[in-house]
Structure 1
């Protein structure tokens, strides 16, 4: 009996101690940004352990069903000397104890709640409940009361964060009597201004971008002068940016009686093309009595060792510098065919389930970083439509910058009825991770690199799902992208049975889904903007991933036999050199080790060697009757283009 009584007392004490933790402040809506929203918890006891508690956010919308959409297990966390624990976005200052992704907190009518329990007790979609509930706040931004959510959480009021109607950033704050008021946010501090006043430390640099070889002054400033020497360390390494990329001290001392000091870091100017990188300035452990006003400050380091390709951008196109890496007999099955038989033969090649691979939508970022790499700078991509370069680091998923790039579906997803498939598309598992596919696998059009291009994020949004001809690109564009788009669309409608290209601009109805216009426009674009080296290079790169090629880049005249002036005629692949002449030039041994012999039967000229991505490795070397060529190449497949008498022959070399 005595043991039972003690157990009851222990449980009551345990629950009473947790009941001291409340939701002290909430900022769910910050106009113009989603990076400064936060939730602040408060314990009556300073430095209080939050073990055994879980924070749960509930969606009060009709689609949300008053159910959980985010949980945070609080095990291992502790409130500070004022009893505060701050949870917030990446730009909240001082820096939160737990960082949220931007736009995590919905702005109502929704709820924030603290429970006894763990995150596993509230899987996504769990309906709100009063079971084990310690505290809850239902909030909105000028929304009607969610009476259902109020009933589920046992609350009598819903707080409007916009009740002052002044369209500035304000937060909901708990007063000492347990009621709420809406006023200017006070993250990381007691709402009434009392308690321990921490001295904030700020990291600043004069620029957010530097070149290799530059020196960077990193300034550390406290809000008030320090009463004794303040010493702490900081970290600069971040992914590929390592200690070998800079020199200088990462130990900081702000002397007594001052509030600032500067550390100068020298960026090493090496000779390696590592690509542009991000240096991240991160506080180490700072002494008690201080808080970080910012942290994880990112500074871009621009690599000056970028490479320039031997071919031009689509705006200044070149032709014939990039070798077509299609296998010798890749298009042989098309010979002598016409009409539907020709279409079917193309599809049999580009949608062959025994050969062709599909990758995830997440993998497309890596694929496009190579396939759409700018010929002018290997650390940038070339943007469709806006016809300009952009840093690879400025991908929309990696940066908050408005001038970012994104993955554009040239065949709009809404018209093709293909979209994201989370179990398939969210994971980037590289070239070795793939799925088999076929002509009826429409969902794989979502991540088919032949139909995706790097584009300016804003222009991507402006383009929407308009038909081509309705959409003609941004003002003053020179149309260098138009043929590329046309050939991408032509590929997709052959590759996937459900997609169609039609004349005109069909209106959006159930009967016109999967129809894209305008065929006449796309044919004109194809004819007026023929495939160039940039397009051939991306075709080569995509082939290494998907094991299929866009035949309308390799054999542009095919377009006429399917949609244009030669419909109904028999296709024949016209060779630039007849087979007898080709046989007069041979290379041996092949496979080779460190050299080959070019045997030309009395001919002379020049040859070039390329890798399978079309990069020129050896240029303009002369040959005569019999010429030995010493090679310093890794094992793999290479192409040799032999030029003579205004003729070109491509031979494939295998290095053992």
Structure 2
């Protein structure tokens, strides 16, 4: 970088923690320590199993605690991943009162209802899946209807597009033919971590005779097993979305609220590296060490940026978009919390030295 302007160097604040987000209660994930692969997945299932089962009618009243738009327009409206425009004003907004809940609808913007990220038809509307807050979100009723029970994937040719850019159309994701639904990039990681949660929480149920036969419907992404749970193409797609869209503050906030209500957590929001430890392409702990993989979240960030690496992060430097170094530190830890609340809003480059190798990541301060 040329002509770097010297700014005041601010020291990092960092802490060591047993969990990446330092949000889960102490000891919550103890039984998963040191595990990987499907053994890790089963251990996590046993930890998050047996949550408090809610009534379907009660979900709408809980959304006001966890799904307010505090991150984009900050207008306290319903944060709907199918209509939210991260970079501009939304085409419409909903309140949480009965007046904005569906009812009937004839087009986008009429009302909101409950969207099952894993379609409830595939598990025949059974409990506790039907009322699990981790996978049931408030979304526009019409867009929810257009999504139908189509699997998530990359849309090649769109037949319909929502006002925020979510699309329905022919699937271009390798390994799948047919129609799929593609949300905008801002929420792809959210959906992937919900789907991985679902595969973990319900690993014993997904092969039940009371669920739809996954081979009987091209839209059903299940592969008929309790371990991988999803078909290869779908796992690849979700892994890609998980990597491209890291954990956000919205997800962390929602995860904590759900824990207060139904008393279980999404482990892949708390510990994003566990997705690769379970479903990664042959990836295990030794692979993580050799690839110096780092999870960085939330991104965008308001105050505290979390770093999680299987290897020791020796040195960190932050540069603003003009190329000036604005912060530095030597945490010598693989669990790092960085206080960036004092930085001005904008885009920054994080430069990390890990096992003597330099890696860079971009993050947005909001």
TM-score between both structures, scaled by the size of structure 1? 0.31
SS in structure 1 of the partner of residue 138 of structure 2? strand
Q: Tell me whether 1:486 sits opposite 2:202 in the alignment.
A: no
> Match of 2:146, SS?
helix
Aligned length: 228
Asked whether the equivalents of residues 45 and 201 of structure 2 are also in contact (C-alpha less than 8 Å), the reply is yes
Secondary structure, counterpart of 1:454 in structure 2: strand
Distance 2:258 2:96 in 1: 18
1:362 aligns with 2:57: yes
Larger radius of gyration: 1
Q: Is residue 456 from structure 1 mapped to residue 143 from structure 2 by the alignment? A: no
Whether 1:374 and 2:82 are equivalent positions in the alignment is: no
Question: Structure 1 529/380 Cα, relative in aligned 2: closer, same or farther at 3 Å?
Answer: same
After the TM superposition, which residues 36-115 of structure 1 pair with which residues of structure 2 at under 5 Å, given as runs? none
For the residues of structure 2 that align with 1:398 and 1:548, how far apart are their CA atoms?
A: 31
- Cα shift readout 1:75-130 (whole Å, capped 9, x = no counterpart): xxxxxxxxxxxxxxxxxxxxxxxxxxxxxxxxxxxxxxxxxxxxxxxxxxxxxxxx
| 1:390 pairs with 2:94 | yes
Matched, 1:446 2:119: no
Q: CA 1:325–1:366 in structure 2 vs 1: closer, same or farther (change >3 Å)?
A: farther
SS in structure 2 of the partner of residue 374 of structure 1: coil
Query: Per-residue deviation at 1:358?
Result: 1.5
* C-alpha RMSD of the superposition: 3.5
Q: What does 1:518-537 correspond to in 2, within 5 Å? A: 518-537=234-253
Distance 1:553 1:361 in 2: 24
Give, in angstroms, the shift of residue 336 of structure 1: 1.1
- Tell me, yes or no, if structure 1 residue 498 matches structure 2 residue 205: yes
- Give SS of 1:369's match: helix
1:344 paired residue number: 42
1:474 aligns with 2:190: no
> Gaps spanning 5+ residues in structure 1: where?
1-322, 420-441, 501-505, 578-606, 609-618, 621-656
Higher strand fraction (1 or 2): 1
Measured after TM superposition, the shift of residue 368 of structure 1 is 2.0
Task: Find the aligned partners of 2:79 and 2:194 in 1 and give their Cα distance.
Answer: 16
- Rounded to whole Å, the distance in 2 between the matches of 1:474 and 1:390 is 20
Does structure 1 retain, via aligned residues, the 8 Å contact 2:53–2:127?
Answer: no
Q: How does 1:463-612 map to 2 (within 5 A)?
A: 463-469=147-153, 474=161, 476-477=165-166, 478-496=184-202, 497-499=204-206, 508-509=216-217, 514-515=222-223, 518-565=234-281, 567-569=283-285
- Flag structure 2 segments of 5+ consecutive residues without an equivalent: 1-20, 85-89, 167-183, 208-213, 224-229, 296-305, 309-337, 343-366
| Residues 473-532 of structure 1, C-alpha deviations (whole Å, 9 max, x = no match) | 9353442111111100100111012238xxxxx76359x685565221111111101111
Of 3, 18, 30 in structure 2, the residue corresponding to residue 332 of structure 1 is 30
Shift of 1:335: 1.3
Q: Does the Cα contact within 8 Å between 2:77 and 2:94 map onto a contact in 1? A: yes
Which structure is higher in RCO with an 8 Å CA cutoff and minimum separation 6?
A: 2
Deviation at 1:565, TM superposition (A): 3.9
Equivalent pair of 2:276/2:284 in contact (CA under 8 Å): no
Report the secondary structure of 1:362's partner residue.
helix
Alignment TM-score, normalising by the size of structure 2 = 0.54
Contact 2:115 2:137 in 1 (8 A): yes
Instruction: Label 1:324 to 1:560 Cα distance change in 2 as closer, same or farther (>3 A).
Output: same
SS at the partner of 1:381? coil
How far apart, CA to CA, are the structure 2 residues paired with 1:481 and 1:346?
Answer: 24
Q: Deviation at 1:334?
A: 1.4
CA change 1:377–1:567 in 2 (3 A) is same
Kept in 1: contact 2:32–2:44 (CA 8 A): yes
| 418 and 569 in structure 1: CA distance in 2 versus 1, 3 angstrom threshold | farther
Match of 2:111 in 1: 404
For the Cα contact (< 8 Å) 2:277–2:283, is it kept in 1? yes
Q: Distance in 2 between matches of 1:378 and 1:366?
A: 18
Partner Cα distance (2:67, 2:192) in 1: 17
Contact 1:418 1:445 in 2 (8 A): no
1:136-147 alignment runs, 5 A limit: none
Contact 1:498 1:514 in 2 (8 A): no
Q: 1:370: Cα distance to partner?
A: 2.0
